[in-house]
Structure 1
Amino acid sequence: MKIAIIGAGTIGLSWATLFLSKGHTVTVSDPRPDLAQVVPRGALLAEPVEQAVAEAEVVQENGPERIEFKQDLFAAIEKAAPSDALILSSTSGLVASAMSEKMAEPGRLIVGHPFNPPHILPLVELVPSPATPDALVRRAREFYRSLGKVPVLVHKEVDGFVANRLQHVLFRECVSLVEQGVVSVAELDEIVTNSVGVRWATVGPFQAFHLGGGPGGLRHMMAHLMTDIEPETAARLAEAAEREYPLENYEQLCEMRDRLQSAIIELKGGVN
């Protein structure tokens, strides 16, 4: 597959490494003067964006996070790229409907936001605009799956998407605790990497509390320890958790969680 990478910063170069490792033909475009020195071996270079995308089947954009710049860039990409090329953006917070305002077919643009570094971490947040056809979203999802990624559809455009919003809230609390003198920077990192870090690497927040609630699941946990959550909301969340993680499989789910978490702890000890 012919893939064009627009923007060769940290994210773009990481994508290039992954695409090349999967056997794709990769062309990189960036105005930086040291481009030839920083791209991975095997990547092709193209100075103008139009040349880079002319024969591309997929375009992965990684340019500066400036909305006006993005709008002009995607208008140029759309004109120069084949009409059936996937046009994807690695933006960490801008929404497709805003970035595509100058495109003739705004629905062609889909956010494919990776978690850094893309050649290591599996997540890609797929965030289409309301104008994006479902078939195009499916193509983007299959493309990322073919790379070994875990593409997760974000159903509504929201600034910052999901992972970064969660990360931002947690980091604000980290800063607050350190600034209050509760813990040091290193102590806080040690707390996270030996508690929620291990937990969330194996089960997400909802599944963690669902299993932590015992045979009664998330419903039991919220009724006893999360009484600040509105009863209607708690009921909806409990039903969703019970649907995704059936309580009749409670023991098997706990066994899987324990096995995975023990493996991570053992690996951490070996690395340290």
Structure 2
Amino acid sequence: MTTTAPTTPLPAPEDVRRVACVGAGVIGGGWVAHFLARGYDVTAWDPAPDVAQKLRRLVDAAWPALTLLGLAGGASPDRLTVTATLEQAVGEAEFVQESAPEKLDLKRDLLARIDAAAPPGVVIASSTSGYPMTDMQTTAADPSRLVVGHPFNPPYLIPLVEVVGGERTDAAAVAWASRFYEVAGKSVITMDREVPGFIANRLQEALWREALHMVANGEATVRDIDASITEGPGLRWAVMGPMLTFALAGGEGGMAHMLDHFGPSLKSPWTRLQAPELDRELYEAVVAGCDEAADGRSIADLVAERDRGVIDVLRATGRLDATSDPKGDPR
């Protein structure tokens, strides 16, 4: 990243009142719900013909969980405006969140269009789950204001967002985006360099690949794999991450003792990080296993169950004030 400041002064993150969301899928819609719950005016655009109805359904489904989390003063689903064009959505925005499908050419073209239509100085963030901003900002007239703001599904519920710029991104834009997300109620990791897949996705991908190997080889069912995390290490990871969790495995000696004791097992054939061939048999086994694990619950049922569970964990671990007034302004 460069260290030069943008030519146009950025508005203070605390002063932002209007956010534009481009893309209204699961991630984009989740961002819409999050920003509405934080009291922002939100303009949204997506080329799908039924985008307004789709967004309303998504926001309505998320609102009970957002109410439990605590709504900002003035927060309302009625502060959403779905526009007919991208230019209308971003023309008066003070921050833009792009959440288009993961296709590099599409991302490049869309970010260039947003850059051309958004007011000068406004930071534009991409929700990409893997592309480096360096590869996406190549056709924008002002790449200095383009950053990655990588959320986790659903963005209205999971606090984390990873922020990083590309080779042509100004450091000031990255710092501004990180501060804005914090003001908007997110937990932010500001990365100082581009890493393919960022941080959390790299860790998720390793677990996902091993899970696929186990299903492919008949070593575990989908239900077994999920239970092994939700009833095992996932409970610890909700409090502290894998590194500190392993440090505790070393007792009073900490990580040093843990590495001395368990380090040799790193050479044991416990994991196979290369992805298995996703043939039709494995594909159908994974899909059928998920259907079995759902046990008749619809996707809407599972979403509601997930939302309640995450909120309970956030409260139980002190990351959400269980006594807070849900009508108060968390900003």
Q: CA deviation at 1:207?
A: 0.7
* Cα distance in structure 2, aligned partners of 1:44 and 1:139: 25
The amino acid of 1:28's aligned partner reads A
* Cα distance in structure 2, aligned partners of 1:130 and 1:75: 16
* Cα distance in structure 1, aligned partners of 2:117 and 2:192: 29
- Contact in 2 for aligned 1:222/1:229 (Cα 8 Å): no
Deviations 1:138-174 (A, max 9, x none): 2111111112211102222122212112111101111
Mapping for residues 1-272 of structure 1, pairs under 5 Å: 1-40=17-56, 41-42=77-78, 43-227=80-264, 263=316
* Cα distance in structure 1, aligned partners of 2:232 and 2:265: 24
Unaligned runs of 5+ in 1: 231-259, 265-272
Length, aligned pairs only: 234
Deviations 1:5-30 (A, max 9, x none): 10111111111111011110100111
* Cα distance in structure 2, aligned partners of 1:178 and 1:68: 34
Percent identity among equivalent residues? 44
Q: Which moved more, 1:207-216 or 1:36-45?
A: 36-45
- Contact in 1 for aligned 2:38/2:185 (Cα 8 Å): no
Q: Which moved more, 1:35-44 or 1:190-199?
A: 35-44
Deviations 1:96-155 (A, max 9, x none): 111100112222110001010000001101121133222221211111111221110222
Unaligned runs of 5+ in 2: 1-16, 57-76, 268-312, 318-331
* Cα distance in structure 1, aligned partners of 2:111 and 2:214: 42
* Cα distance in structure 2, aligned partners of 1:152 and 1:210: 22
Partner in structure 2 of residue 244 of structure 1? none
Deviations 1:150-206 (A, max 9, x none): 110222212221211211110111122223222221122111111111111111111
* Cα distance in structure 1, aligned partners of 2:51 and 2:141: 31
The amino acid of 2:45's aligned partner reads S
Large movers: runs of 4+ above 3 Å: 227-230
* Cα distance in structure 2, aligned partners of 1:54 and 1:139: 20
Q: CA deviation at 1:229?
A: 6.9
Q: Which moved more, 1:217-226 or 1:150-159?
A: 150-159
What RMSD, in angstroms, separates the aligned Cα atoms of the two structures?
A: 1.9
Q: Secondary structure at the match of 1:227?
A: helix
Q: Secondary structure at the match of 2:264?
A: coil
- Contact in 2 for aligned 1:124/1:150 (Cα 8 Å): yes
TM score, norm. by length of structure 2: 0.67
Return the structure number with greater relative CO, CA threshold 8 A, min gap 6: 2
The amino acid of 2:98's aligned partner reads E
TM score, norm. by length of structure 1: 0.81
- Contact in 2 for aligned 1:7/1:61 (Cα 8 Å): yes
Q: CA deviation at 1:228?
A: 6.6
